[in-house]
Amino acid sequence: MKTLDNPAEFAGKRVLVRSDLNVPLDGTTITDAGRILASAPTLTSLAEAGAKVIVMAHLGRPKGAPEAKYSLAPVVPALAEAVGRPVAFASDTVGEDAKAKAAALQDGEVLLLENLRFNPGETSKDDAERLAFAKELASLADVFVSDGFGVVHRKQASVCDVATLLPHYAGGLVQAEVEVSRTLLEDPARPYVVVLGGSKVSDKLGVIASLLERANTLVIGGGMVFTFLKALGHGVGASLLEEDQIDTVKGYLKKAEELGVEIVLPTDVVVASAFAADADHWTVPADGIESSPAGTSALGLDIGPESAARYAEIIKAAKTVFWNGPMGVFEFEAFAGGTKAVAEALTKAHGGVVDGRLTVVGGGDSASAVRNLGFADEDFGHISTGGGASLEFLEGKELPGLAVLED
């Protein structure tokens, strides 16, 4: 794929950039600006080179029509600060305001279009409807740059169809994400440890199957732990459980044994009487959840301290670590210990690429967790902006938003 090796060649041209600015909001307050900060270098380099930069992105999941709560307007000040210059805002995507402001752009100026998903053509399953919207977007510019790694696994107008209509390039963020992901998929330094958390096994079926063929050790945390524990015959109380995945998990455990891959499960867990920040809670053996004071009503909300310490040692001994998914309900202080321990271990596992060692935080909730818990992006080798895209890449799937950039 062509990359932005010489931004100066875009001087005076209108460059349409697909960024990922899908940041979490509390009202109109951005609670994690990570994706904005990650998008800024590509936009800045183009603007500084004299390009007329038109940024398109989405926020949330509106259903093909404008919704005030999903407007990108609150993103404008943060984006302007990140790129170090004013950012104009169009109140529509391909309407009169967008067309007028795109036409009026001067060299080095930046314009952000309103939420792409306010138009039904963006996410339409109908190829013709999607292409029609893409043609309207493409009419605004001379060149397309794909820089939203978090959406390259989606077959959407601004991700795929626009690339078929304009000269196209991969932005710096997409280029960096692809390079890191290829290292994890094809040539990781060993020992290669994968830490998987999050709520459901079913969200990670494909990536678990793929990683069993590639990783040396899989460390399991989060809500998915309880389906693994149930598969081993342990009671899990009222903890999150996917009954329909128990046989699948048994298959993973058997395959791991055949391949010589270690699947590490917690030896202790933190259980609570209710799903609440101030709920009574206890640390119990992983095979003794229903022996806690909460009995069969016990809710497992985090890995225990013994497990957290063990996980940290495994991480520190690795040459390559990929982490996707928190170890517990990190939003509640009482159940954040496991996630904190994993994050801290990653920062001490050489903090990036040193002597061939790489630590990667796989986007999504993991990225939010490390920032909300007070860790800095530079403490890690790489923080991905694409949770779902990262997982699908590691499954070995072809991602449509990357495939369309290949020439």
The pair of three-digit structure tokens given for residue 188, joined into one six-digit string: 């990781």
253 CB-near residues (< 8 Å, 6+ apart): 228, 231, 232, 263
Q: Are strands 192-196 and 168-170 parallel, antiparallel or unpaired?
A: unpaired
Helices 387-394 and 364-372: crossing angle, nearest 10°? Answer: 130
Could you give the strand order of the β-sheet that contains 143-146, starting from the edge strand earlier in sequence? 87-89, 110-112, 52-56, 14-18, 143-146, 168-170
Identify the DSSP state of 142.
Answer: S
Is 61 a known ligand-binding residue? yes
Is 142 a known ligand-binding residue? no
C-alpha pair distances (Å), 337 with each of 174, 257, 269, 285, 333: 32, 29, 11, 16, 8
Is 331 a known ligand-binding residue? yes
Helix (H, G, I), strand (E, B) or coil at 359: strand
Instruction: Return d(Cα 385, Cα 365) in angstroms, integer.
Output: 10
Do 206 and 395 meet the contact criterion of CB atoms below 8 Å apart?
yes
Instruction: Return d(Cα 202, Cα 27) in angstroms, integer.
Output: 31
Residue type, 270: V
Instruction: Return d(Cα 136, Cα 258) in angstroms, integer.
Output: 53
Identify the DSSP state of 219.
Answer: E
Active-site annotation, residues = 35, 200, 364, 388
Residue type, 366: S
315 CB-near residues (< 8 Å, 6+ apart): 193, 195, 219, 321, 342, 345, 346, 349
Bridge partners, residue 54, by sequence: 16, 111
Is 182 a known ligand-binding residue? no
Is 382 a known ligand-binding residue? no
Is 365 a known ligand-binding residue? yes
Is 304 a known ligand-binding residue? no
Is 58 a known ligand-binding residue? yes
175 CB-near residues (< 8 Å, 6+ apart): 3, 4
Length of the chain: 407
Is 20 a known ligand-binding residue? yes
381 CB-near residues (< 8 Å, 6+ apart): 180, 350, 351, 352, 353, 357, 358, 359, 360
Is 244 a known ligand-binding residue? no
Is 340 a known ligand-binding residue? no
Is 216 a known ligand-binding residue? no
Is 60 a known ligand-binding residue? yes
List, as residue ranges, the binding site for substrate: 20-22, 35, 58-61, 117, 154
List, as residue ranges, the binding site for ATP: 204, 300, 331, 363-366
List, as residue ranges, the binding site: 20-22, 35, 58-61, 117, 154, 204, 300, 331, 363-366
